[in-house]
Structure 1
């Protein structure tokens, strides 16, 4: 996915052993909630948001794909989000035809980021999430929300050892 795709703007504000802290700019996301709490059970959510950017919206307008796709767990389900290209303001984006796809203004915030390559299965991402939470705590930082998986490359066309992924944990500034 990430080849020549726009990615959200951020600035690295600190580098620590095993992770970095980033300050992200404001963005707009198209989001969908899936039933259950399984990071890997999110393909239905992907198809719904992809439908929105591929023209299933009130204007039948195509919107460029960006990277990464964000996936995180909440109490009542798994969330998935695509960041909209920076050229759009909220009022410029067409309304989704799918009532489960929601557009949201996301205020800039700071995240601890742990990069990894390869597959992003549940066991591996859970282990890396715990590692990053431990590193964040040991550094004296405090998380401010659930960890998320950021997937940059198409798992159907990118060899596992070439895939770029991240675990992101929002932190208090």
Structure 2
């Protein structure tokens, strides 16, 4: 009996390691939106993002785009655009609004090369090209299947962290997902991002990071 338990524990451990390795390999195959880490505290970071170009659509359901929003964006990058151009998938998928509620905007980040050359206009309705303004963001990273409850819990943690450091941010948060829908929940990379809004606070964050490095 003990040997059987050891066998199953070892098997589950091997499977877990293999799945984690597969997830990391899958992520590495995609270009990811660039950012600079200004400050790091466990699973929370302050990041500086450049301007990003997004192909975006409005979602009425959830982070998986089960209302067809994900497929609208996927068709766009598969060639449903004015140049009939195939565009590489990137990470993360950004979401603005309350996940699981109405009026959520889902956006695919355009690869740097495509953004530099000019993003092709979508064919038909439902997809538009938007500019995501760069800036400084407070970001919390966490696993799990992204839904309204989980996103709210993590946003609350992030705002408490910001408050303790005298940082103020936008009223609305963003969410970001890095993995395809079939990725097991414990291996997913999700994030909640809050744009920092006070120039004084942005400077303070930079000063703290400089003191830490020094």
The TM tier, using the shorter chain, reads 0.7 to 0.9
- The offset of 1:3, in angstroms, is 3.3
Question: Normalising by the residue count of structure 2, what TM-score does the alignment of the two structures yield?
Answer: 0.72
More helix by share: 2
**Conservation of the 8 A alpha-carbon contact between 1:39 and 1:72:** no
Instruction: Write out per-residue CA displacement over residues 136-159 of structure 1, whole angstroms, 9 at most, x where no aligned residue.
Output: 122111112521111001122x22
Is 1:155–2:181 an aligned residue pair?
Answer: yes
Distance 1:111 1:81 in 2: 17
Equivalence for 2:80: 56
Is 1:72–2:96 an aligned residue pair?
Answer: yes
Equivalence for 2:163: 137
- Give the root-mean-square deviation of aligned CA atoms: 2.2
**Conservation of the 8 A alpha-carbon contact between 1:40 and 1:122:** no
Structure 1 unaligned blocks of 5 or more: none
Q: How many residues align?
A: 170
- The offset of 1:109, in angstroms, is 0.9
- The offset of 1:62, in angstroms, is 0.5
Structure 2 unaligned blocks of 5 or more: 1-25, 203-214
**Conservation of the 8 A alpha-carbon contact between 2:49 and 2:134:** yes
Is 1:98–2:124 an aligned residue pair?
Answer: yes
Equivalence for 2:59: 34
Work out which structure has the larger RCO, using CA pairs closer than 8 Å and 6 or more positions apart in sequence: 1
Distance 1:98 1:121 in 2: 29
Large movers: runs of 4+ above 6 Å: none
